[in-house]
Every structure is written in structure tokens, then in C-alpha cells.
Structure 1
Amino acid sequence: MKKGILLFWPSFIIAVIATTVFYSIFDPAELTLHGNSLFHDKLTAYSVFLLVSWLFGAANTAIVLLLEKSARDINGFTPPPVISGDEDSTPS
């Protein structure tokens, strides 16, 4: 569950920002390919771009989580074991 939250929440934020920036510059009604309109209405264009950018953001975040290593793996350091009891006392 934690990995899912770490994967999808940042990618959703990235998708919302990317969609906002993209459509603040371009009008979805004016997007054409070979003279044909790409989308029938603006809501479809917004939805498709949000889902596609969310997919790319999730792929990016998944790669980051896959390549993430713990400090122990990077440093090669294993902490010493914890000794319980009083260190000054001698065994009887």
C-alpha cells in the first residue's frame, strides 16, 4: 500500500501540473493532425492528456522506486549489535 501511494500520488501531482501548463499554452480545440481535429470536445482532450501524463509520471516514479537503495546498501555499513544490560558489570 505504501509503495502504491509513493507511486501514484507524486505522479498525479506531476500530471495535474503538466496538464495545467500545457493547456494554458495550447487550446485543445486547435490541436490537429493532418488537418483533422484530434478531439471532439475539450473535456476529452483534458482527460486524455491528464491520463497520459499520469501514466508517464507513474512510469518515472516507478523507475525511481526501483532504483532506490537503502543507506545500508550504498555505504556497506551494518550497525553493530545492541548489547543489553550494564557494560560495567562483570559476569558472576
Structure 2
Amino acid sequence: MKYVIWVFWPAFIAAGIAETIFFTMIDPEQLYLFGQRVEWSVTATYSTGFLLFWLVCIGSSLMTYLMMPRDAKEALMKAAGDRDDLARPKRREPRSVGR
């Protein structure tokens, strides 16, 4: 699962940045696709735009991961260790009061 996170999470962040920049410069109500005006609601345009940006960024992150040298992949796996959740370290068992 952590390998999927290594691809999807950076892609999610990059898609959010790309969408913010894109829709800061372009009004979703004035978009044209194949010469025809897009008749979707603003929310639907933002959502579809984000999903398309995310798919492109997933492709980019996946290609980067697949093209990494084996040594770099092994170093990533070693750095991750046996941690199941890369966001938080595993919890330690509470110490007993009598010790």
C-alpha cells in the first residue's frame, strides 16, 4: 500500500497546485472544448479539471517511480522500514508505573 501512496500523494498535491494555477487564470464559465462552450456547472468543471490534472500527475509520478534505479527503490524501502503508516511512527507500549 505504501508504494501506491508514494505515487498518488505527490500526484494529488501537484494536481491541486496545477488546478489552482489553471483556474486562477481561466474562468470555468468561459471554457471551450473542441470549439464548443462547456455547459457544465462551475463545481462540475472544477471537479473534472482536478480529476484530469490528478490523472496526468499520477502518470508522471508512476513513470518516475518505474524509471528509478533499483538502488534508489531499495533505499526508499529501507527508509520506510517496517512502518505500515508513513505519516506517523508506530505507537510505543505504555510503560508500567512500577518500573
Structure 1 length as normaliser, TM-score?
0.71
**Matched AA of 1:17:** I
The answer on whether the counterparts of 1:19 and 1:49 sit within 8 Å (CA) in structure 2 is yes
| Percent identical residues | 34
Aligned Cα root-mean-square deviation (Å): 1.6
C-alpha displacement of 1:40: 1.8
Structure 1 unaligned segments of length 5 or more: list them: 72-92
Q: Mapping of 1:1-92 within 5 angstroms?
A: 1-33=1-33, 34=35, 36-69=36-69, 70=71
The two structures have a TM-score, normalised by structure 2, of 0.66
Runs (4+) off by over 6 Å? none
In structure 2, list runs of 5 or more residues that go unmatched: 73-99
| Number of aligned residue pairs | 71
- Report if the CA contact (8 A) 1:31-1:38 is conserved: yes
Q: Max radius of gyration: which structure?
A: 1
